[in-house]
Amino acid sequence: MKQIVLGLLMVVTAAFGGDWMQWRGPELNGTCDANNLPVSWSVESGENVAWSCDLPGTGSSTPIVVGDHIFLTTHSDDDQLYAISIDRKAGEIGWKKKMGSGKKAMRGNTMASPSAVSDGKTIWFFFGQGTLAAMSLEGKELWKRELREDHGELSSKFGFSSSPLLHEGKLYIPLLYLPKGEQKAPNSGNCLMAIDASNGKTLWTIERKTEAIQESLDSYITPIIGKNGLFVTGADVATCHDLETGKEKWRYDFAKGDHKTNWRIISSPVAAGDLVVSAYPRGRTLVALKPGGSKRWDYEGRIPDVCTPAYESGLLYVLDGVKRYLTCINAQNGSEVWQEKIPSDKGFFASPLVADGKVYMINHNAEVFVYAAGKNTKLINRIPMSGEHSFASIIAVDDTLYIRTPDTLVCARTK
């Protein structure tokens, strides 16, 4: 196994095995133990493509893999939202369930942006307008609730996109956004909630006190588990919470009294050994926080605004998707190992995958770039595909890559 994040995260990774059952994978950091992965493929010619599945609708939720099943969500042209199961071997849709409806968001985003999560037996689907549901692998609905009924409209400017985090029978969901209209506490738009995964009932809801203003209240992140608790970023602060009660343990202030109106945060934090690493709002600085919330180091340079870094074997892979730079950073001291300008004509929203000694990245127009991972790098290949607004991250299981464009899922495997 590759290096596993210490403390509580060890419990999480042990439960997931080789499947990809949460947004950032079995180790929650954009890496996995896949091997013999392809570095070239073509949907047109069929080179190294086992199958390609047309999806009913579009979306940017990263797929998850559970045994012989792949699960994702879509948003149809008539604004219907679907939970989808795809047979992993045949590449055919096994079942499709309508889960609700919702309007599309700005800049190509849809209500099918949050990724599903699983414990291997149950799938939990979440949609950007607030529908949360538990389903069996066979597509039977186990429970369903609408978070809007308790918390008002999930009103992020670019469409609510946070994926749930599953840990020890609880779903952790950040509700961090600028409320519309007259929404009041407990509909403050800046809270963290824990839900009993077995029945959908709220276990606790904690309001995160903040002086953030206007769009700075919007956060699109997914929480992670660090060495000493649940870690969340948004509304000008990073906070660590007790897993059982939600009580805040410590916080780190990004703004330090200088509150901007547009400091929304999109890039999720990542655990790196005993540290938690997070991009500042708008991506101007990368900071590594020690247990307790004090700063170990910070790095200013090509920092992501949207893409979440990947962590493997002491190295952070940091993708600045706007200026199109990939940087490798020593996670313990923040020193730059190398930096590459990606020869891409388009930017990136999807987060990098690190697996099998390679870094995989997909840009807005579904062109994939493959770099060598480790302390020395090179561009291995660039693979053109098609699909405007390709925002889902590439994932890997065993010897196979799964690449989602908005309306297609491609299974790439070396033949």
pLDDT tens per residue, range 360-395: 999 999 999 999 999 999 999 999 999 999 999 999
Does the pLDDT value for residue 316 go beyond 70? Answer: yes
| pLDDT (mean) for 137-141 | 98
| pLDDT (mean) for 21-43 | 97
At 6, the pLDDT band (50, 70, 90 cuts) reads very low
Does the pLDDT value for residue 4 go beyond 50? Answer: no
| pLDDT (mean) for 71-80 | 97
Give the separation between CA 117 and CA 171, rounded to whole angstroms.
9
**26: which residues sit within 8 A by CB, 6+ positions away?**
13, 16, 17, 18, 19, 20, 32, 33
Q: Is the pTM of this model over 0.85?
A: yes
Quote the percentage of the chain above a pLDDT of 70: 94
At 7, the pLDDT band (50, 70, 90 cuts) reads very low
The pLDDT value given to residue 156: 84
The pLDDT value given to residue 178: 87
The pLDDT value given to residue 17: 45
The pLDDT value given to residue 188: 60
The pLDDT value given to residue 183: 56
How much is the mean pLDDT over the chain?
92
| pLDDT (mean) for 137-162 | 91
Give the separation between CA 223 and CA 209, rounded to whole angstroms.
17
8 compared with 293, residue with greater pLDDT: 293
HSE value, Cβ hemisphere, 13 Å, CA-based, for 284: 6
Render pLDDT for 280-303 as a digit per residue (tens, 0 to 9). Answer: 999 989 999 999 999 999 999 999
Task: Look at residues 415, 346, 350 and name the one whose alpha carbon lies nearest to residue 384.
Answer: 346
- Output the six-digit token pair for 394: 């590439």
Does the pLDDT value for residue 185 go beyond 50? Answer: no
Does the pLDDT value for residue 18 go beyond 90? Answer: no
Does the pLDDT value for residue 80 go beyond 70? Answer: yes
8-413 belongs to CATH 2.170.130.30: no
The pLDDT value given to residue 13: 38
The pLDDT value given to residue 150: 85
**233: which residues sit within 8 A by CB, 6+ positions away?**
219, 221, 239, 254, 265, 268, 269, 278
The pLDDT value given to residue 8: 39
Does the pLDDT value for residue 116 go beyond 80? Answer: yes
104 compared with 353, residue with greater pLDDT: 353
Rounded to 10 degrees, what is the CA torsion of 25, 30, 34, 39? Answer: 130
Phi/psi region, residue 293 (left: phi>0; alpha: psi -120 to 50; beta: rest), is left
Identify whether the C-beta of residue 283 lies closer than 8 Å to the C-beta of residue 320.
yes
